[in-house]
Amino acid sequence: MRQALPSKRPLWILLAAALLFHTLLFSLQSSRGVDSGRVRHWLLDSLARIEKTADVAIDGVRGVWQSYFALTGVRSENEVLRSEIDRLQMQLARQSEDVLEAARLRRLLDLQEPSLGKTVVARVVGRDPSPVRSHLTITIDKGRNHGIRPDTSVMTPAGVVGRVISAGDSFSIVQLIVDSQSAVSVMVRSTRRQGIVRGIGTRDLKLEYIDDDSELKEGDELITSGLDRVHPKGLLLGVVTQVKPGAGLLKDVTIRPAVDLGRLEEVLCITEPPKEAPVPASVSNSR
C-alpha cells in the first residue's frame, strides 16, 4: 500500500512570498540605489535557512510516519511467529505423547508370551460417569470381535487390573479389582499360603480369607493362584501394607494394588488362557 506523505504546499507558499519580497527589494534598490549585492546575499541566506528548516521538519514527519508503518508490520510478523511457535509446541507435545505411548505398548507386547496364552492390547476409552463408581470400572476399545468375553482377565506389566464384566462387539466394560463386588483368588508369594482378596471400593484391597495368616507381614507380595479360573496363575496382584488384629480370629490385612488404577491408558486382555500356565521362575524359586 502506498504511504501518504505530508504535503509541501506550505513550503511553496513561503517560497512564493519570499520571491515576492525579493522582487520588491529589487524595485526598491532600483529606485533608491541600495547595494544589491549585500541585499541579495542576505536574502539568499535567509531563504536557505528557511528551506533547510522546512526540509528538516518534513523529513522528521516522514521518518515518524514510516516508523509507524514499520512498527505495524513488525507487530503483524510477531503475531505470525507467535502462532507458528504455538503450533510447533503443540506438535512437539503430541510427538512426545506418541513416544510415551509407544513405550507403554512395547511393554505390553513384551508380555505376549505363551505362558499367558492369547492376548489383545486394548486402549482405555472411558470410565463410569458416576462419581461413586468412576474408579471402579473402565471401558476399553476391544470386544467380542477381538475375542473378548465376560470374565476375560485384564492386566498391565505391573500386575492385575480386573476382569471383563460386559462385552459388546467393539467395546467392553472392565471391573477393577478395587470394586467391592470383585474377588480374586491369591497366594502369598513367599509362603504359598492361599486366600481371597476383595475390593472395598477404595484404592486399597482387603484379605478376606487365608488358611493361615500367622506369617503375614508388611511387604509380602500376593500373586494370583489361578483357582478362580479368571486370572492365570502367577500374576502380581498387590503388596501387603498393613497387618493388625481383626475383629475375629483372622487379622485385618490391607493390600495396595500393584497397578496404579487411576492412570490406566492401555491394558492387556488375556482372551484365551493357556491350558496349564507354568509357574514363573521367580515363584518356583521361592518354593
DSSP string, 53-87: HHHHHHHHHHHHHHHHHHHHHHHHHHHHHHHHHHH
Mean pLDDT along residues 154-171: 93
pLDDT at 246 over 90: no
Mean pLDDT along residues 103-122: 69
CA-to-CA distance for 178 and 202, rounded, in angstroms? 6
pLDDT at 163 over 90: yes
Please provide the average confidence, as pLDDT, over all residues in the chain.
77
Grid cell at residue 81 = 511467529
Q: What is the pTM of this model?
A: 0.60
- Please, what is the angle between helix 36-110 and helix 9-32, to 10°? 170
DSSP three-state, residue 161: strand
Mean pLDDT along residues 270-276: 77
Mean pLDDT along residues 94-108: 61
pLDDT at 61 over 70: no
pLDDT at 132 over 90: no
pLDDT at 56 over 90: no
